[in-house]
A and B are shown apart, each in its own frame.
Chain A
Amino acid sequence: MESTSSRATATQREQWMVEGQVFRIYELFGSIPRNAQTQLLELQRDNHIEYLTKGLRQLGPSFTVLDANRPWLCYWILHSIALLGDALDDELEDNVIDFLGCCQDVNGGYGGGPGQNRFAYKLKVIFSGQFYLILATLTQTFLQMPHLATTYAAINSLITLGGDRSLSSINRHNLHTFLLRMKDRNGGFRMHDAGEMDVRACYTAISVASVLNILDYELVKDVGNYILSCQTYEGGIAGEPGSEAHGGYTFCGLATMILIGEVGRLDLHRLVNWVVFRQGVECGLQGRTNKLVDACYSFWQGAVFALLQRVHEINDDKKNHTTSNLFEGEAIKEDSSHLVEYHEIGFNFLEGCAMEEPLFHSMALQQYILLCSQLQEGGFRDKPGKQRDYYHTCYALSGLSVAQYSSSKDFDSPPLHSALFGPYSNLVEPIHPIFNVVLDRYQEAHEFFSGLPH
């Protein structure tokens, strides 16, 4: 039966427009001489690093809307620089450590900007028997409330910098207290005091706790139940129970379930079936069914593939998922009295290998990142027609790393030439797909925090 409506819907119109722009780029690429092609295929390292470093040193007034997200800006920039195999000079590194130290709340966690503790006196008048008494109470205020997302960004920034000074600047004990305070009775986490609760909050909390070796049963309790309730009929994971399956939340949900040892409780086959269809003719990845491609999903969705490749439970056969497997994760809970080595999960994860080849089209994704997202003058964008920004630069590069290493069984041997789109000099650093920090920095942090008490 033919479509009864000849008018294209909003979804179709927008999709065709983007397809048009993307195909024009690919066709143009195909038609230009060889040497011009080589230029376009190259990762513009120098220009990216210049764009990134400039941002670290100074940002214009338009960034006022990110004034409560400055640790994010640090992370997006530092992680991108690290992926490009570059490093900051010592002075700039020290400045970052000091700045993030200013964002650290004395009671644990990091806020969106410097929040020096300020003391103030509050006066109260009370009547006591015959006399009026004036009481002065000392109050302490931290000017930017600690927030799970900015905490995640700050911790990942410090891990990316590496080194004793950076890693020891983190007050782990108080951070653990902060995380516990954010934990809700239903198992999920709130982003800040009385803040919103969603799968993102779960990921940022658990990720940070895991890498800092402060993850314990108190934090893990019931998180799995919450995330499970967010897996939708489509197979992907939503931000809250009932919402639409979404790439960002799917990454957060899957990564968290792995870190708490409950990944087998998810319907992994339906999850895979959802995520593989997020790659369309544009070659890049979309965040939701029937929505537009966006370079940032190169990481959010791309890393979902990287995670699934190492999850052996994906090879388990589940004809009827509903009842029999709901209790797989219970094993962890029963063992809670014997300390589960949560800290080791992230580390041991890298050794897993459930499948040789990735389930997505790695070359196509790299093609989208380099030809449609990369700007020759430095930086990456969502899609043609959009402006570059640090967020997209970070996640496009992270996605590029995931794609380049997607056929590598382990990270000890570098990828083959055939795994890369463009020249071999395009190779970026490998990442740990659960935490999204450059692998050798993760390993340094893992060693550093392993020895420390909980």
Chain B
Amino acid sequence: MDSDEEEQRIPLSQRPEWSDVIPVQQDDGPNPVVPIAYKEDFRETMDYFRAVYISDERSPRSLRLTAEAIHFNPGNYTVWHFRRLILEALNCSLHDELDYIERFAKSNSKNYQIWHHRRWVAEKLGTDAATKELEFTKKILSIDAKHYHAWSHRQWVLQALGGWEGELDYCQQLLEDDIFNNSAWNQRHFVITRSPFLGGLEAMREFEVSYTIKAIRANPENESPWRYLRGLYQHDTEALISSLQIPSLCVEVLSAKNNFIFALSLILDLLCHGFNPSEEMKNAVQVLKNSDSQPSDLSLADTICGILESVDPMRKNYWAWRKQRLAAQGT
């Protein structure tokens, strides 16, 4: 329903096609709490909705009525549910329904119901809907590149309906637009681990490590690629501590003496998994130490915790806890 129609809205009580229906009022009880001062058009719409819902009238006019009710309150999951029952009963064109949802979503996208409804429709349409769904989510993501529901829906589409071929490129594109977009990094991880067209994480790892390291070099303060990099070795710490590129990257970042918190954190992680640091790395860390504050015979891990307690004060307690646990881990 667009704004033109809104201004010309004829009350349901005056529409001849509804003359046989007796509207059902809401019974809030005698002393309701959190009562909402409904506007007359909303109240009337819901009164008629209640009538057809009770009599379970799954007709075209009921379908139109659900659209009107949804327009006022897109969060009414009962109306959406009934709408689905009507669509099934009338065997409506589900492609038309996708169009309806798309028009609606432009202004109401942050709503669980609309996405659940979309998923229900797409599931019924099956693999034919894949392209349309990927296009739809792309449109939403072009307005809000981190839209949580859009991403979840997109992932569901890929897994249930297919369309993986262009997905890695899509992630690449979004990351070119905004290398800080964590949702795009998350999607990248999703694609490389689950796409049937790629070889799986281990096969993709080398390429992904290079890609991620480039991103880190460009913006070492960007948390996303650091987490992504660590995520590439989530189930393979052996490979993690055998990597040559990762320690090299960390040393590079430390040497710039700027935005090195994530680098230190990653080195700490490596050490906790049994990594053997080079002299170059030890020196790069020592340089960052506040020379008066700590004795020089501490382990590298201890030293790193000490530095982090000082340069990352927001997480002071966390780094102190990590230091405390080093003894227990024997690091």
Using a CB–CB cutoff of 8 Å, the interface residues on chain A facing chain B are 1, 3-5, 9-12, 55-61, 63-70, 73-74, 77, 91-92, 94-96, 98-99, 102, 111-114, 116, 118, 120, 122, 139, 141, 143-145, 147, 191-196, 232-235, 239-240, 242-246, 272-274, 276-277, 279-281, 283, 288-291, 315, 317, 319-320, 322, 355, 357-361, 364
Q: Which residues of A contact B273 (CB under 8 A)?
A: 319
Given A59-B36, A70-B34, do A290 and B235 touch, yes or no (CB 8 Å)? no
Which residue of chain B lies nearest to A9 when distances are taken between CB atoms in the complex? B178
Q: Which residues of A contact B286 (CB under 8 A)?
A: none
A3: chain B residues within 8 A (beta carbon): 218-219
Q: B317 touching A277 by the CB < 8 A rule?
A: no
A143 touches B53 (CB 8 A): yes
Task: Check A112 against B76 for contact (C-beta < 8 Å).
Answer: yes
Determine whether B27 belongs to the interface, using a CB cutoff of 8 Å to chain A.
yes
A361 with B314, Cβ < 8 A, contacts A57-B33, A233-B231 known: yes
Bound complex: CA A119 to CA B36 (Å): 26
Known: A73-B34, A192-B77, A359-B315. 8 other contacts (CB 8 A): A11-B180, A11-B181, A66-B36, A99-B28, A239-B148, A240-B155, A242-B152, A288-B183
B interface residues, how many (CB within 8 angstroms): 83
C-alpha gap A169/B329 in the complex (Å): 52
Q: Are A65 and B78 in contact (CB under 8 A)?
A: no
Q: How far is the CB of B292 from chain A (nearest CB, A)?
A: 25
A242 touches B235 (CB 8 A): no
In contact, B34 and A64 (Cβ under 8 angstroms): no
B318 A232 Cβ-Cβ under 8 A:
no
- What is the predominant secondary structure among interface residues of chain B facing chain A? helix
Please choose the segment from B7-15, B222-230, B276-284, B299-307 that sits at the chain A interface, where 4 or more of its residues have CB less than 8 A away: B222-230
B106 at the interface (CB under 8 A from A): no
Q: Which of B39, B53, B224, B234 contacts A290 (CB 8 A)?
A: B224
Q: Can you report 22 A-B residue pairs in the complex whose CB atoms are below 8 A from each other?
A: A4-B218, A9-B180, A10-B177, A60-B37, A63-B34, A64-B38, A64-B42, A65-B73, A66-B75, A74-B34, A112-B75, A143-B26, A145-B77, A232-B186, A233-B227, A234-B227, A244-B182, A280-B314, A288-B146, A319-B237, A320-B237, A359-B318
What are the 5 tightest A-B residue pairs by CB atom distance, in nearest-first order? A233-B231, A11-B180, A9-B178, A289-B182, A196-B116
In the assembled complex, B138 has its CB within 8 A of some CB on chain A: no
Is B63 an interface residue, CB under 8 A from the partner?
no
Bound: A57/B33 CA distance, A: 6
Least CB distance from A414 to B in Å reads 21
Using A234-B227, A234-B231, A244-B151 as known contacts, say yes or no to A290 and B78 having CB atoms under 8 A apart: no
Let me know if B323 is at the binding interface, CB within 8 A: no
Q: How far is the CB of B36 from chain A (nearest CB, A)?
A: 5
Q: Is the beta-carbon distance between A68 and B78 smaller than 8 angstroms?
A: yes
**Is there contact, CB below 8 Å, between A289 and B317?**
no
Q: Which of A102, A240, A245 contacts B27 (CB 8 A)?
A: A102
B residues 35-73 in Cβ contact with A at 8 Å: 35-39, 42, 46, 50, 53-56, 72-73
Residues of B within 8 A of A4 (CB): 218
User: When chains A and B are docked, how far (Å) is the Cα of A191 from the Cα of B224?
Assistant: 31
Given the contacts A9-B178, A242-B155, A361-B317, A56 and B237 also touching, CB distance less than 8 Å: no
Chain A, Cβ-Cβ closest to B108: A65
Question: In the complex, are the beta carbons of B36 and A64 less than 8 A apart?
Answer: yes
Contact, CB under 8 Å: A1 / B218: yes
Give the distance to chain B from A140, nearest Cβ to Cβ, in Å: 9
Q: Which residues of B contact A290 (CB under 8 A)?
A: 180-182, 222-224
Which B residues are in CB contact (< 8 Å) with A64? 36, 38-39, 42, 72-73
What residue in chain B is nearest A55 (Cβ atoms)?
B34
CA–CA, A65 and B114, complex, Å? 14
Q: Is the CB of B29 within 8 A of A122?
A: no
Residues on the A chain within 8 Å of B314, using CB: 279-281, 283, 361, 364
A244 CA to B54 CA in the complex, in Å? 40
In the assembly, what is the distance between CA of A153 and CA of B20, in Å?
A: 38
Q: Tell me the residues in window 177-222 of chain B with beta carbons closer than 8 Å to chain A beta carbons.
A: 177-183, 186, 189-190, 194, 217-219, 222
Say yes or no: is B81 at the interface (Cβ < 8 Å to chain A): yes
Min CB distance, B316 to chain A, in Å? 7
Is the pair A147, B77 in contact by a Cβ cutoff of 8 Å? yes
The reply to whether A77 and B34 form a contact with Cβ atoms under 8 Å apart is yes
B residues near A361, Cβ cutoff 8 Å: 313-317
| B289 contacts chain A at the CB level, 8 A cutoff | no
Q: Which partner residue on chain B sits nearest A66 by CB separation?
A: B75
Give the residues in chain A near B218, CB-CB below 8 Å.
1, 3-5
B101-127 with Cβ < 8 A to chain A: 112, 115-116, 119-120
CB contacts under 8 Å to A, within B255-272, are 265, 272
B26–A114 contact, CB under 8 A?
yes
Q: CA A143 – CA B56 in complex, angstroms?
A: 11
Cβ–Cβ < 8 Å partners of B98 in chain A:
none
Given A9-B180, A66-B75: A114 in contact with B50 (beta carbons within 8 A) = no
Q: Within 8 Å of chain A (Cβ to Cβ): is B74?
A: yes
The contact of B78 among A144, A358, A359, by CB within 8 Å, is: A144
CB distance from B28 to the nearest CB of A (A): 5
Nearest opposing residue in chain B for A289, CB measure: B182
The smallest C-beta distance from A184 to any residue of chain B, in angstroms, reads 14
Q: Which residue of A lies closest to B179 (CB)?
A: A9
B181 proximity list for chain A (CB < 8 A): 9-11, 290
Contacts A12-B180, A357-B317, A360-B317 given: A56-B33 contact, CB under 8 Å? yes
Q: A68-B78, A120-B55 are in contact. Are A289 and B151 (CB under 8 A)?
A: no
Cα distance A183–B329 in the bound complex, in angstroms: 40
A5: B residues at CB distance < 8 A:
218
How distant is A260 from chain B, measured CB to nearest CB, in Å?
24
* Closest-CB distance, B311 to chain A (whole angstroms): 13
Residues of chain A lying within 8 A (CB to CB) of residue B32: 95, 99, 114
**Taking the nearest CB of chain A, how far is it from the CB of B34, in angstroms?**
4
- Most A Cβ at <10 Å: residue of B32, B33, B112, B272: B33
Assess whether A65 is in contact with B75, with CB atoms less than 8 Å apart.
yes
- CB atoms of B178 and A11 under 8 A apart: yes
Taking CB as reference atom, which chain B residue is nearest A283? B314
